[in-house]
A and B are shown apart, each in its own frame.
Chain A
Amino acid sequence: MKITPDVIAAHQLTASEYDKILSLLGREPTITELGIFSVMWSEHCSYKSSRIHLKKLPTESRRVLQGPGENAGIIDIGDGIAIAFKIESHNHPSFIEPFQGAATGVGGILRDIFTMGARPIAVMDSIRFGRLDHPQTGERNQRILEGVVSGIAHYGNCFGVPTVGGECVFEESYDGNPLVNVFALGVFRHDEIFYGKASGVGNSVIYVGAKTGRDGIHGASMASAEFTEESKQKRPNVQVGDPFMEKLLLEACLEAMKTGAIVGIQDMGAAGLTSSTCEMGSRAGTGIEIDLQYVPQREHGMTPYEMMLSESQERMLLVAERGREEEVFTVFRKWGLDAVNIGVVTNDGMLRVKNHGEVFAEIPNRALADEAPKYNRPFTTPLRTAPLNGPDIHSRHLAADLKKLLASADLCSKKWIYEQYDYQVRTNTLAGPGSDAAIVRIKGTNTSVAMALDGNGRYCALDPREGTKLIVAECCRNLSTVGALPIATTNNLNFGNPERPEIMAQIVESIEGLAEACKFFEVPVTGGNVSLYNETLGTPIFPTPVVGIVGTLETAIPLGTDFKAAGSSIVVIGGLGNPDCHELGGTQYAKVIHDLMWGKPPALNMDYEKRVQATIRELVRARAVDSAHDVGEGGLAVALAECCFGPRNIGADVHFDSDLNPEILLFHEGPSRILVSTGDPQKVFAVASKNNVEAVAIGVTLEARVVIRNRNQLLIDSRVDELKDLWSHSLEHLLHNPVLVNTNV
Chain B
Amino acid sequence: MKVGVVVFPGSNCDHDAWYAVSQNLGQQAQFIWHDSSSLGDIGAVILPGGFSYGDYLRCGAIAKFSPVMQAVKRFAQDGGLVLGICNGFQVLTEAGLLPGALVRNATLKFVCKPVSVQVVTTDSPFTHQAVTRQRLRLPVAHGEGCYIADEATLDRLESEDRVVLRYHVNCNGSMRNIAGILNAGRNVMGMMPHPERAADPLVGNTDGLAILSSLVNAGITASKS
Question: CB within 8 Å of B: which residues of A?
Answer: 150, 153-154, 157-160, 242-245, 247-248, 335-336, 418-427, 429-430, 441, 443, 555-557, 740, 742-745
Contact = CB atoms under 8 A, between A and B. Distances in A.
A743 B112 CA distance: 19
B170 interface: yes
Q: Which of B12, B51, B118 has the most CB of A within 10 A?
A: B12
B53 interface: yes
B1 interface: no
Contacts of B106: 740
A418 B110 CA distance: 10
Query: Is chain A's binding surface mostly helix, strand, loop or mixed?
Result: loop
A427 B20 contact: yes
A426 B16 contact: yes
B201 A420 contact: no
Given A247-B12, A420-B109, A422-B112, A427 B200 contact: yes
A158 B10 contact: yes
Contact of A427 (B54, B107, B170, B203): B203
A419 B16 CA distance: 20
Contacts of A420: 109-112
Contacts of B139: 424
Given A160-B12, A419-B109, 18 more contacts: A157-B141, A158-B10, A158-B54, A158-B55, A245-B54, A247-B9, A247-B10, A419-B111, A424-B112, A424-B194, A425-B16, A427-B20, A427-B196, A430-B204, A443-B19, A443-B23, A743-B169, A744-B169
Contacts of B55: 158, 244
B56 interface: yes
B104 to A, nearest CB: 13
B148 to A, nearest CB: 15
A425 B50 CA distance: 9
Interface in B90-129: 106-107, 109-113, 118
B168 interface: yes
B170 A742 contact: yes
B64 interface: no
B166 A745 contact: yes
Given A335-B9, A336-B9, A441-B202, A423 B112 contact: yes
Contact of A745 (B19, B49, B118): B118
A427 B197 contact: yes
B15 interface: yes
Contacts of B168: 744-745
Contacts of B199: 427
A454 to B, nearest CB: 23
B204 to A, nearest CB: 6
9 contacts: A150-B109, A158-B54, A418-B112, A419-B112, A427-B199, A740-B106, A743-B170, A745-B118, A745-B166
A3 to B, nearest CB: 43
Q: Classify chain B: how many residues form its interface, as a range.
A: 35 or more
Given A441-B202, A740-B107, A744-B169, A419 B113 contact: yes
Contacts of A427: 16, 19-20, 196-197, 199-200, 203
B213 interface: no
B88 to A, nearest CB: 14
A427 B199 CA distance: 9
Contacts of B173: 740
Nearest to A251: B9
A678 B200 CA distance: 26
Contacts of A744: 168-169
Contact of A421 (B112, B118, B203): B112
A492 B9 CA distance: 33
Contacts of A248: 9-10
Interface string B43-59: 00000011101111000
A424 B51 contact: no
A115 B196 CA distance: 29
B169 A157 contact: no
B3 interface: no
B145 to A, nearest CB: 12
Contacts of A425: 12-13, 16, 49, 141
A729 to B, nearest CB: 14
B30 interface: no
B187 interface: no
Nearest to B118: A745
Contact of B15 (A150, A243, A426): A426
Interface in B4-36: 9-10, 12-13, 15-16, 19-20, 23
B147 interface: no
Nearest to A418: B112
B89 interface: no
A744 B19 CA distance: 34
A335 B10 CA distance: 10
A244 B53 CA distance: 7
B204 A557 contact: yes
A157 B173 CA distance: 21
Contacts of B143: 157
Nearest to A558: B204
Given A424-B197, A425-B16, A745-B167, A247 B202 contact: no
Contacts of B111: 419-420
A430 B202 contact: yes
A557 B110 contact: no
Contacts of A158: 10, 12, 51, 54-55
B141 A424 contact: yes
Contacts of B20: 427
A345 B103 CA distance: 50
Nearest to B54: A244
Q: Which of B23, B50, B53 has the most CB of A within 10 A?
A: B50
A443 B10 CA distance: 22
A47 B126 CA distance: 57
Contacts of B9: 244, 247-248, 335-336
Contacts of B112: 157, 418-424
Contacts of A247: 9-10, 12, 51
Which 4 A-B pairs give the minimum distances between C-beta atoms?
A: A160-B12, A244-B54, A158-B51, A422-B141
Nearest to A248: B9
A150 B199 CA distance: 29
Contacts of A336: 9
Contact of A244 (B56, B113, B204): B56
B177 A745 contact: yes
Interface in B176-220: 177, 194, 196-197, 199-204
A453 B176 CA distance: 41
Contacts of B56: 244
A160 B170 contact: no
B36 to A, nearest CB: 13
A425 B204 CA distance: 15
B202 A557 contact: yes
A428 B105 CA distance: 26
A178 B30 CA distance: 46
A243 B111 CA distance: 18
Contacts of A426: 12, 15-16
B19 to A, nearest CB: 6
Nearest to A242: B54
Contacts of B50: 160
B57 to A, nearest CB: 12
Nearest to B14: A160
A626 to B, nearest CB: 15
Contacts of B141: 157, 422, 424-425
A248 B110 CA distance: 22
A332 to B, nearest CB: 12
A579 to B, nearest CB: 37
Nearest to A146: B109
A164 to B, nearest CB: 11
A647 to B, nearest CB: 10
A241 to B, nearest CB: 12
A555 B109 CA distance: 33
Contacts of B203: 424, 427, 429-430
A244 B113 CA distance: 23
B41 to A, nearest CB: 23
